[in-house]
Structure 1
Amino acid sequence: MKALPSFFIFSFTLIAFGCSANLIKIDPDFIIAQPGDVEINIYIIPSEPVAGAQCNFSFNKDVVFALNVTNGGIFEYWANDIYENFTRIDNQNGSIYNIVAFSSNASDNEGIFAKILFRAEHEGFSWLNITDALISDANGNKTSIEVINGSIIVDATPPNITFYSGNEFFRREVIIRWKAEDNYFPEEKINYSYSLDGAGWSEWSNSNETFYELDAGNYTFILKAKDEAGNIAQKNLSFSVIDITPPEIKNVKVDKINGFINISCDISDDFYVKEVFLILNQIYNYSMEEINGKYFYNASYPIGKYEYTVLAIDKSGNENTSTGNFSISPPYKPSLVYPGNNSTNISINPILKVHVVDVDNDIMSVKFYGRKLGNLTWQLLGINTNVANNSNTSITWYNLEYG
């Protein structure tokens, strides 16, 4: 990068010392411009009443072209209006001669002495120097003056953008880094605006960008870089967000509750879990329900042994599985509590009590059957439901006959 020496940009000449000097200066004293018309002012700040001013002017003919010089209005009379072609522009040598204005009465009001319109034609640096300056008082005498000159940079070349990011990202957080170099201005003076996949343009700023929660897919990032002259460069970066990581299955549990088997698990994915299935004995395929990232399937099954597979599929088609097994076992044979086997002398309305145990800790239904000795047919005496595991349950058998 090219940097201009500070003495070019902020040069000034002190013609006479002392706090009482009248100031004549270029306003603005530093200009950055693209090719085109640029106007500068010669400004006077009096320290005493003044009645007139005159100067010549110097500039870089290889960079700017002087178009005209006009009255700034601080003084009453403009010499070029009185004497035709009195003020002379010499573009071949980069000079302007005889810039003169005066008033019949002196004043200490500050203001514009002259306006100079340039055409910025070529890239480069031009000094804007006031020469041979003179400011007169009410009596036409020279006064002490201070001169502050200026400069202009003409810049038609936009910054050069370089991306330092790759084209493939394997996560949803994408950091895009870039840098721009300019022929006149340091990097911190360059501002950027961007658009991702046709979205609106961001505000101009001087920072790189991080995008979060991008889905897998192909993207186009468009970056604009603007230097202080207003030149804008644009460059595109095409990149892909690639998802190759399958969902993560954790905390798989099989709970036996009230005769139902509840299979649950936690499933997460950096991108998106699309669907989750429960496969039983490699035959039956059920869709698992989801609540807050936890997936479950709840159903009752016949007695038997089962193998299950939880199959998780993310939005990109990546799959992961977790396999396990469980069994459904019948309850143990009930044990007689009362009356004992072959009991005698019992009531004609006896209470029949048994103790029941289920290996799966399920809630049970217990059916009681009875028959008189010699009968072939069993009679259903009653059904007790919601019987807890490892507990007693009973019914009354009414109206037994003696025998």
Structure 2
Amino acid sequence: MTNGVKAIRGMNDILPNESYLWEYFEQTVQRWLAVYGYRNIRTPIVEQTDLFVRSIGEVTDIVEKEMYTFVDHLNNDSLTLRPEGTVSCVRAVIEHNLLYAGPQKLYYAGPMFRHERPQKGRYRQFHQVGVEALGYAGPDIDAELIVMCVRLWKLLGISGLRLEISTLGNVESRALHRSRLLKYFEQHRSELDEDGLRRLYTNPLRILDSKNPRMQQVIENAPKLIDDLDAESCNHFESLQRILREQGINFEINLRLVRGLDYYNRTVFEWVTDKLGAQGTVCAGGRYDSLVEQVGGKSIPACGFAMGVERLLALMQECGREIKQPVPDIYIVHQGSEQVMNYAWKCAEFLRDEGLDVILHCGGGSIKSQMKKADVSGALYALIIGDDEFKAQEVSIKPLRELIEQASVKLDSVTEIINSY
């Protein structure tokens, strides 16, 4: 379509020749999460803008540059397409008082929206699976989230991922670190780029996340948060490391791991790869103990992570994981009177009741043309029904992928015959 209606740039269609990969991924994820006792929660795509601004942080790339925000002209509300899922999940937990029943293990999946420059692995509509554990304070739940990921990578056939972990401490230690960073970067103002100068007095910690090559030396020499950590956060981080080592999980401590959202504290982690170019982070998360109170609930500890579906699917393919596109068991070819057609319908429904995947040919055509379509469908067998088969109340079964002769059989023996081949 050169002049017709097209999808919005960076918001992609997922066509049938690739959607089966998504279905495989989604089914694998659902089974994996059930093993760990996580339950599904589904939240709206649109939320009040203020929910994201006060939770994610005003001086973040997401809020400053990337959110799809608009005014609902029916009531003048400022609304935003969700740029991430944690805040919406927390809002729903508070609104419906889910924590009254105790700690919650929840997960969500679906599209998120950020206005970024589209490139491979980074789209304006992208998909995430998020896992949230609310009401858990210890490092054991932080470790469980990481252990869960290791299991999923095995299920998906993904290899070569690197785990980076760090700690951001508590509010007080971050405030102390902020003051030291501010003083340091003030002394190096001439070395900061435009973004760095803009963030200097609003959120100097975010300067550490800059990818500008010209600023890496000044960032490397900046004060380190680990030197300002409170004792409790240090103990939490050391306990997490002990659990991971006990579970045989390799990790790297990355003291510059900041995360792009303001609500994180203590544990933060990322799973990264070198196989996807610049978009190397495929899963990231950490602890957000103040977010529930910030959104409007009681103060409770919480942690979680989100993974990018598009990036994980690309990584599966990079790692050579082949998922075969599903094909029907049977394609029913039929020609003749209306009674023949009705019998073909009956046969199709009977075989579906037997647990087989069946395509019933629609649209007429010769037996030869229908058989061509049966072959193209990928079906393993064709069932041919004409006047003779109808009169005998039988079907002719023809294997399409094996050199076996066509045979006429009773309908109720088709499943047994197929299973015996």
TM-score, normalising length: structure 2:
0.19
Structure number with the higher helix fraction is 2
Higher relative contact order (CA 8 A, sep 6+): 2
TM-score, normalising length: structure 1:
0.19
